[in-house]
Amino acid sequence: MKFEITSPVLTDRLVLRPMEPGDAEALHAYQSLPEVARFQFWEPRSLEEIRSKLTKWADMKCLDGEGTLAFAVEERKDGGVIGDVSLKVTNVEARQGTIGFTLNPQYQGRGFATEAGRALLRMGFEDLGLHRIFASCDAHNNASWGVMERLGMRREAHFREHALFKGGWDEEFYYAILEDEWREQQENSGFSGVNPAGNGDRRG
């Protein structure tokens, strides 16, 4: 499975594009916040840490087998970075993938995460040919699993106190959607929400 992001992915209100070194301060504006890091595996990040990680994140625009595509999310009307999302191929043979999303709290509650998630599902199923896409979140992260349900994903599992996480018991929800389920939803809704000119280039 080979894939390369050759142009930004455009939705009605957003631009999903590969990350760039110049995104450091915009990412730091929210990744440094305790309320954002609360449900993440990382702690609030310093600007120096983000600059260091961007050297890796900026290269996450090509796949040759399993791996991750990382995107900065911009609001089209002003071009500012409001979050980041990812699409990861976890198993090539079984065509499995997972999505993730983190938004600046100033832009939450406006449907941006759902809009970006729709673009990721479309890329995963149409461009990468995935069979199943899943996502997970802390069971107490109502905003996150709410996005998953709005994306038409179904809850497949609830892991109760299965691990220790940041000083307490961890509970996780797992959501997923199959390609056939996603295509049926598209037929029933007639929804696209993605500018075809913004799709990446599937190779192989």
- Residues 129-162 have pLDDT tens digits of 999 999 999 999 999 999 999 999 999 999 999 8
Two tokens at 12? 């009605």
Q: How confident is the model at residue 191 (pLDDT cuts 50, 70, 90)?
A: low
CB 153 within 8 A of CB 113: no
Average pLDDT of the chain to the nearest whole number: 91
pLDDT beyond 60 at 193: no
Q: Which amino acid is at 158?
A: H
Two tokens at 180? 């056939």
What is the tens place of the pLDDT at every residue in 36-94?
999 998 999 999 999 999 999 999 999 999 999 999 999 999 889 999 999 999 999 99
- Dihedral Cα 182, 66, 41, 146, nearest 10 deg: 0
Burial zone of 131 (CB within 10 Å; 0-12 exposed, 13-18 middle, 19+ buried)? middle
DSSP β-ladder status, 201-203 and 2-4:
antiparallel
What phi and psi, each to the nearest 5 degrees, are found at residue 103?
Answer: -120, 145
- Assign residue 89 a region: left if phi > 0, alpha if psi is -120 to 50, beta otherwise? beta
Q: How confident is the model at residue 164 (pLDDT cuts 50, 70, 90)?
A: confident
More confident call, 155 vs 170: 155
Report the C-alpha gap between 145 and 175 in whole angstroms.
8
CB 21 within 8 A of CB 33: no
Two tokens at 177? 């959607």
Report the C-alpha gap between 46 and 42 in whole angstroms.
11
pLDDT at 197: 30
The mean per-residue pLDDT over the stretch 118-124 comes to: 98
pLDDT at 200: 33
**Closest CA relative to residue 68, chosen from 26, 99, 43:** 99
